[in-house]
């Protein structure tokens, strides 16, 4: 039998052999400050696709302008019935301007004549990678079709009033068409490339040619028709050119730099179109009725159609009678 003291002594010896000397242990590092947490890696979440389109205010504006153009067309047509056919040239041209504009605004108000321009936008950041997102902006190409038909007619009205010759009239209309078409190309040009603003610059240069033909050459010819005609032409041409100068400004803010919404763009163009077409037309026709020197008499086929003189009559044989 083992004595209890011997068992206790054996346990003390075995346990002491398992312990290591304190001098061989590694020192435990101590610090007065707690370790800093690691900052999370910044994440970049791209923006969703943006759609810039006409809202309720813009659509309502399109319908209002359509009605205004339609009423103006009816009024101008009624005014033409009070004068002889030979002197209706201004009335016919001015009525066509508002008719074309009313068709254009009807198309835009009903959702036709529009398309979306895709724009890939890049945003730069200081401490994170650049981000990209897509923008689809609504472009009413029906507006450019309208302008390509109505602005040459407006120029024709002014050229007839001033008495500008056919060569300068043709050059002014050609420069105007280049201005409108290059403006359309610029509206669908790619962002961040010379394409968009290159087309815009060509349009502005073409507009300078229009100004030269109307403001400089037109004024000199209008003086030859009398002081009243020159005064009227100066007022109408100045009014038109001021309005036309506002169009590229609106384009640069809206379609170009996208600093204005589609609704704001529609409202701005609506105001300019109303002033440049119905207001201009009413001013021209009322002044034309009070100033006889502005008359442009067009006879022949315009007023009388094809006459019977000089036609070939089949079946008449005078020699054999």
Q: What value does the mean pLDDT take over residues 21-25?
A: 51
Sequence-ordered alpha helix ranges (H) in the chain: 4-18, 56-80, 89-109, 141-162, 166-187, 194-211, 219-223, 227-251, 262-274, 280-290, 301-304
Tell me whether residue 30 is in a domain. no
For 220-289, give the DSSP string: HHHHTT-HHHHHHHHHHHHHHHHHHHHHHHHHIIIIIT--S-HHHHHHHHHHHHHIIIIIHHHHHHHHHH
Q: What is the pLDDT of residue 316?
A: 53
The answer for residues whose C-beta is within 8 angstroms of residue 148's C-beta and 6 or more apart is 177, 180, 181
Task: Pick the more confident residue, 293 or 130.
Answer: 293
How many structural domains comprise the chain?
1
Q: What is the pLDDT of residue 48?
A: 76
- In whole angstroms, what is the distance from residue 155 CA to residue 149 CA? 11
Per-residue CA distances from 117 to 178, 188, 258 (Å): 21, 6, 12
Task: Pick the more confident residue, 53 or 3.
Answer: 53
- In whole angstroms, what is the distance from residue 93 CA to residue 156 CA? 8
- In whole angstroms, what is the distance from residue 106 CA to residue 93 CA? 20
Location of structure tokens 């100045």: 238
The answer for residues whose C-beta is within 8 angstroms of residue 202's C-beta and 6 or more apart is 178, 182
Average pLDDT over the chain reads 85
- In whole angstroms, what is the distance from residue 30 CA to residue 40 CA? 27
The answer for residues whose C-beta is within 8 angstroms of residue 173's C-beta and 6 or more apart is 152, 155, 156
Tell me whether residue 3 is in a domain. no
Task: Pick the more confident residue, 50 or 256.
Answer: 256
- In whole angstroms, what is the distance from residue 260 CA to residue 206 CA? 25
- In whole angstroms, what is the distance from residue 151 CA to residue 175 CA? 11
pLDDT digits (tens, 9 = 90+) for 183-223: 999 999 888 778 899 999 999 999 999 999 998 889 889 99
Task: Pick the more confident residue, 310 or 241.
Answer: 241
The answer, yes or no, to whether residue 315 has pLDDT greater than 60, is no
DSSP letter at 165 equals: -
pLDDT digits (tens, 9 = 90+) for 103-154: 999 999 999 999 998 887 777 767 767 777 788 999 999 999 999 999 999 9
Tell me whether residue 92 is in a domain. yes
Q: What is the pLDDT of residue 42?
A: 56
Q: What is the pLDDT of residue 135?
A: 86
Q: Is 195 helix (H, G, I), strand (E, B) or coil?
A: helix
- In whole angstroms, what is the distance from residue 294 CA to residue 231 CA? 11
Tell me whether residue 217 is in a domain. yes
pTM of the predicted model as reported, rounded to 2 decimal places: 0.79
The answer, yes or no, to whether residue 294 has pLDDT greater than 90, is no
Among 12-21, 78-87, 183-192, 230-239, the minimum mean pLDDT is found in: 12-21
Tell me whether residue 169 is in a domain. yes
The answer, yes or no, to whether residue 272 has pLDDT greater than 90, is yes
- Count other Cβ atoms within 10 Å, centred on residue 302: 13
Q: What value does the mean pLDDT take over residues 294-314?
A: 69
Tell me whether residue 251 is in a domain. yes
The CATH code of the domain that includes 96 is 1.20.1070.10
Tell me whether residue 94 is in a domain. yes
Tell me whether residue 144 is in a domain. yes
pLDDT digits (tens, 9 = 90+) for 72-105: 999 999 999 988 888 899 999 999 999 999 999 9
Task: Pick the more confident residue, 7 or 60.
Answer: 60
- Residue 124: give the domain boundaries: 50-294
- In whole angstroms, what is the distance from residue 122 CA to residue 191 CA? 10
Q: What is the pLDDT of residue 52?
A: 82
Q: What value does the mean pLDDT take over residues 295-320?
A: 64
- In whole angstroms, what is the distance from residue 142 CA to residue 105 CA? 8
Q: What is the pLDDT of residue 251?
A: 95
- In whole angstroms, what is the distance from residue 69 CA to residue 65 CA? 6
Q: What value does the mean pLDDT take over residues 43-68?
A: 86
- In whole angstroms, what is the distance from residue 188 CA to residue 118 CA? 8
């Amino acid at each position: 039998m083992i004595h209890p003291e011997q068992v206790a002594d054996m346990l003390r010896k075995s346990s002491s052999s398992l312990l290591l000397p304190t001098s061989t242990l590694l020192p435990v590092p101590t610090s007065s400050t707690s370790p800093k947490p690691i900052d999370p890696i910044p994440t970049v979440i791209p923006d969703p696709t943006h759609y810039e389109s006409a809202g309720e205010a813009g659509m309502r504006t399109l319908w209002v302008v359509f009605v205004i153009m339609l009423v103006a067309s009816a009024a101008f047509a009624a005014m033409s019935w009070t004068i002889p056919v030979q002197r209706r040239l201004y009335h016919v041209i001015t009525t066509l301007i508002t008719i074309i504009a009313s068709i254009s605004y009807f198309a835009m108000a009903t959702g036709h004549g529009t398309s979306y321009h895709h724009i890939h936008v890049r945003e730069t950041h200081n401490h994170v990678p650049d981000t990209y997102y897509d923008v689809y902006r609504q472009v009413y190409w029906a507006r450019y079709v309208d302008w390509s038909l109505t602005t040459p007619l407006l120029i024709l009205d002014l050229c007839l009033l001033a008495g500008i010759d056919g060569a300068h009239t043709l050059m002014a209309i050609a420069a105007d068409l280049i201005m409108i078409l290059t403006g359309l190309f610029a509206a669908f040009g790619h962002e961040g490339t010379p394409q968009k603003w290159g087309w815009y610059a060509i349009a502005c240069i073409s507009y300078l040619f229009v100004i030269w033909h109307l403001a400089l050459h037109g004024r000199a010819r209008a003086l030859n028709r009398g002081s009243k005609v020159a005064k009227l032409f100066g007022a109408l041409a100045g009014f038109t050119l001021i309005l036309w100068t506002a169009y590229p400004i609106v384009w640069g803010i809206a379609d170009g730099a996208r600093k204005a919404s589609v609704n704001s763009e529609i409202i701005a163009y609506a105001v300019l179109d109303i002033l440049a077409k119905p207001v201009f037309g009413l001013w021209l026709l009322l002044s034309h009725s009070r100033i006889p020197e502005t008359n442009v008499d067009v006879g022949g086929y315009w007023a009388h159609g094809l006459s019977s003189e000089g036609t070939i009559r089949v079946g008449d044989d005078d020699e054999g009678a």
